[in-house]
Amino acid sequence: MDKAEKHMKKPKNPMTPPLLPSALRTLLLMLVATVGFFSQPARALEVRFEPVAPGVYAHIGDKGGRSVENEGLNANIGLVVTPAGAVLIDSGATFASARKIHDAVKAVTSQPLRWVINTGGQDHRWLGNSYFKGTGAQLIAHTNARTDMQSRGGEQLASLRTLLGPAAEGTTAVLPARWIEGPVERLNLGGTVIELHHAGGGHTPGDLLVWLPQAGVLFSGDVIYVDRMLGVIPVSNTRAWLASLARVESLQPAIIVPGHGSVTTLAVARLQTRDYLLALRAHMKKAVDDGVDVSAAVRSFDGARWMGLLNAAELAPGNASRTYLEVERE
């Protein structure tokens, strides 16, 4: 049975100073705030699942980059609870963060984890498999993720070990045991239908959409980013990415849990992910057709509409240049 989370109001601060002359009171409050700021310990990763729909939960990860504080888990994680067991959507970046994810699952439900679905080949989607393999849960991914995981797993592990040090200990590249093939796989657990859609990938070749038709909820994995700039990386394919977004449109979800960013709607996903990719591809195709070189094409792309997104300044140049090179090869 699901456990209701109790939220309690913080009591008023018993140390609030009595009324003082205005200038002195302001100075005292500034001093207290300054001492508090410098005495704050480094924030540790906290995984917490919040309800999205009946029986459906999401942990909304850090919207910035990978860091020591977030233990490499700067992505969203999903949980579906059914009468026959629970389903985890993505396993986290490390053995340690996966254990925290499992503890957060246990805080929501006493149901055992039956399946762990990896929605793609990014580290925070699957390297937590090293922990979950020992729980008895079945690890599931699309077959198009296999080569990506095998080829990039060692590099991802090395990067996490460099960043996290001891916090990455115990993490190994454990591949899923069950590989989904084809564009759609329909699963059923305890009467809850879970559809896995693969329309060619996008951010990574194995990107999966996890669709819950009864709840109207879609877990998009890295097919959708909101609040922060998406990343076109060397294994990305923007043409396939747009095909995956077209699949999202066909499903018409009421609620989207994106790979990164706040729980959102289809309208926001269009503006912040689809429209950006469409504009990038259109600009780069024209540049290639007109014989404009990559440097000039990157400089002339007008991405002002998306530069307010987090991480945009760091990611936009690479996104533009990789899209140009992709279009050039087509």
Domain boundaries, the chain: 50-263
The CATH code of the domain at 50-263 is 3.60.15.10
For residues 157 and 155, what is the distance between their CA atoms, to the nearest angstrom? 5
For residues 214 and 186, what is the distance between their CA atoms, to the nearest angstrom? 13
Where would I find the beta strands (DSSP E) of 83-117? 85-89, 113-117
pTM of the model: 0.86
Q: Are 48 and 104 in contact (CB under 8 A)?
A: yes
For residues 224 and 203, what is the distance between their CA atoms, to the nearest angstrom? 9
Of 233, 312, 236, 323, the closest CA to residue 278 belongs to 323
- Tens digit of pLDDT per residue, the chain (330 long)? 444 333 333 333 333 333 334 443 433 333 333 333 233 334 589 999 999 999 999 999 999 999 999 999 999 999 999 999 999 999 999 999 999 999 999 999 999 999 999 999 999 999 999 999 999 999 999 999 999 999 999 999 999 999 999 999 999 999 999 999 999 999 999 999 999 999 999 999 999 999 999 999 999 999 999 999 999 999 999 999 999 999 999 999 999 999 999 999 999 999 999 999 999 999 999 999 999 999 999 999 999 999 999 999 999 999 999 999 999 999
Q: What string of DSSP letters covers 277-315?
A: HHHHHHHHHHHHHTT--HHHHHHH---GGGTTSBTHHHH
Where would I find the beta strands (DSSP E) of 5-65? 50-53, 56-59
Distances in Å between the alpha carbon of 234 and those of 43, 141, 149, 231, 295?
32, 20, 14, 10, 17
State the burial class of residue 46 (Cβ atoms within 10 Å of its Cβ: 0-12, 13-18, 19+): exposed
